[in-house]
Amino acid sequence: MTPEAFVETFKPYAKIVYEVFGLPWRAVLAQAALETGWLRAPVTDLETGRNSYNLFNIKGQGPAGSVKAYDHQYINGRLVKRVHQFRAYHNYEESFIDYAQLITENPRYQPALAVAEDPEAYVRRIQQAGYAEDPRYAEKLIQIMRKYIRDEAEPID
């Protein structure tokens, strides 16, 4: 999926997360884009190929169970490929809602919520809270937001 098609498809879900949970929609949409490679590499089960509808690579059990898939983790500064259980959903909307609940209900993300009006500060705090192990996670999200996910009031470069 192209970045433009991805934004067009998933922006309504991100806007709902903003309206209901107060999370910055641009940051949430950038996370979904980065975590799935613009939906070119979504989490699917290694054995069955079943789509998890997991846009945020959240591990564990979801409303539709889980799928077994590879994950890349940084261990002692080295990128390592491992198999993990990832949450599965019935649809993409569930994925967005579950992400929002995880962020708003887990105390470790409170510093990010405190700066939710600033999407760039929010992603820096999400990274600091340990959402992802990639040392460039926030930087990558900021690049995605600046290039592809603009606020309607912002001029496009």
Q: What is the pLDDT of residues 134-152, one digit of tens each?
A: 889 999 999 999 999 987 6
Confidence of residue 44 (pLDDT cuts 50, 70, 90): very high
Cα angle: 21, vertex 1, 12; to 5 degrees: 25
What is the spatial distance between Cα 36 and Cα 126, in angstroms, rounded to a whole number? Answer: 18
The pLDDT > 70 percentage for the chain reads 96
What is the structure's pLDDT at 156? 42
Residue 135 is assigned to a structural domain of this protein:
yes
- Write out the two tokens for 150: 């603009």
Helices of type H across 2-155: 3-21, 25-36, 92-105, 110-113, 119-128, 137-148
Residue 156 is assigned to a structural domain of this protein:
no
pLDDT tens-digit profile of 60-89? 999 999 999 998 777 777 888 889 999 999
Residue 123 is assigned to a structural domain of this protein:
yes
What is the structure's pLDDT at 107? 97
Residue 157 is assigned to a structural domain of this protein:
no
Query: Is the confidence at residue 52, as pLDDT, over 80?
Result: yes
CATH of residue 100: 1.10.530.10
What is the structure's pLDDT at 152? 65
Contacts of 99 (CB under 8 A, 6+ apart): 17, 28, 31, 55, 56, 58
Q: Calculate mean pLDDT across residues 96-113.
A: 98
Residue 51 is assigned to a structural domain of this protein:
yes
Query: Is the confidence at residue 113, as pLDDT, over 60?
Result: yes
Residue 66 pairs with which residues in a beta bridge? 87
What is the structure's pLDDT at 106? 97
Residue 119 is assigned to a structural domain of this protein:
yes
Residue 105 is assigned to a structural domain of this protein:
yes
What is the domain extent for residue 44?
A: 3-148
55 and 44 Cβ atoms separated by less than 8 Å = no
Contacts of 78 (CB under 8 A, 6+ apart): none
Name the amino acid, one letter, at 73: Q
Domain count, the chain: 1
Residue 46 is assigned to a structural domain of this protein:
yes
